Copies of this chain bind each other. A is one copy, B any other.
Amino acid sequence: MKAYLDCFPCFMRQALEAARMATTDVARQREVLNRVAQFLPTVTVDATPVDIGQTVHRLVRKITGVADPYRAVKKRSNDIGLRLYPELTARVTAADDPLLAAIKIAGAGNIIDFGPKVAADPDEVERMIPDAFARALHDPIDMLEYRAFQDRLSAVNEILYLGDNAGEVVCDKILIEQLVARGKAVTFVARGAPIINDATVDDARYVGLDKIAAVITNGSDAPGTWLDDCSPEFKEAFRSAHLIISKGQGNFEGLSGVDAPIFFLFKAKCPVIALEADVALGTVVLRQQVLEKATK
């Protein structure tokens, strides 16, 4: 999807939050804002939030000299996830339909996202987590989409699972366990380098995803899957996949126009994404990629 004008102020906010994660030097934080402000007018009308976000956060890292501003936040999110893991797994196991419950848990886990303005700070995000799970388990998922997912699932042996954020990877693990229990081989895709609080291979390993799935990277430091920027290896895996589970807003932003057998699973946390997906803010969305073909 293309960026909305609403994304421009939001990138300034993101840049400031990331700069504050990286340094307490206010002059350096101001320099980040200045450089992002100078960059924004050069953004072309067909740019996506994913490629703009990549440049914005590269600027943050370059100007502050901090390679991974969200490192501590990611560790903390993973630890929160691991602490919740036994209870969430028990809820899934006890559910009438454990696969559906695991999808809801994985979708709700997408609340742990420091790109969009979810909350004032990581503390507040942490406080929102229990409610996000309670709400997700209570709220309905579109059953037509879920049936379509089940149909596709029964027809494949391998699944490409595009991860999104640290912390959330624990919820992904819970869903992947359900997939593995159904005899599927899952490849989990992490980002190629630190970007906001997105999950890297380190995060996937930290929560033990490598014990149940192959873990690869997409070779990119964009905050979402932007195919042009991904490694040839990932692109090959993507092109040959028969079922792709795409987690989170960033992957939706990057892949919403791409012809591939994708099911998107995310929590709509910003007004622009809610508008684009035509759902109420805060909804957990499971949705099959359907493209209107102009020709062929």
Contacts and interface: CB of A to CB of B under 8 A. Distances in A.
Nearest to A15: B9
Interface stretch (A27-35, A153-161, A187-195): A27-35
Contacts of A13: 9
Contacts of A24: none
A6 interface: yes
Contacts of A38: 37-38, 41
Contacts of A122: none
Interface in A21-58: 26, 29-30, 33-34, 37-38, 40-41, 45
Interface in A49-75: none
Q: How large is the interface on A (under 10, 10 to 19, 20 to 34, 35 or more residues)?
A: 20 to 34
A84 interface: no
Contacts of A8: 12, 16, 33, 37
Given A34-B40, A38-B38, A41-B37, A16 B10 contact: no
Copy number in the complex reads: 2
A269 to B, nearest CB: 15
Interface in A244-286: 271
A41 B38 CA distance: 8
Nearest to A13: B9
A120 B29 contact: no
A70 B231 CA distance: 49
Contacts of A9: 9-10, 12-13, 16, 33
Contacts of A12: 8-9, 12
25 contacts: A5-B16, A5-B30, A5-B33, A6-B16, A8-B12, A8-B16, A8-B33, A8-B37, A9-B9, A9-B10, A9-B12, A9-B13, A9-B16, A9-B33, A12-B12, A33-B40, A33-B41, A34-B41, A37-B37, A37-B38, A37-B40, A37-B41, A38-B38, A38-B41, A120-B271
Closest CB pairs A-B (n = 10): A9-B12, A34-B41, A9-B13, A37-B37, A37-B40, A8-B33, A9-B9, A12-B12, A37-B41, A5-B16
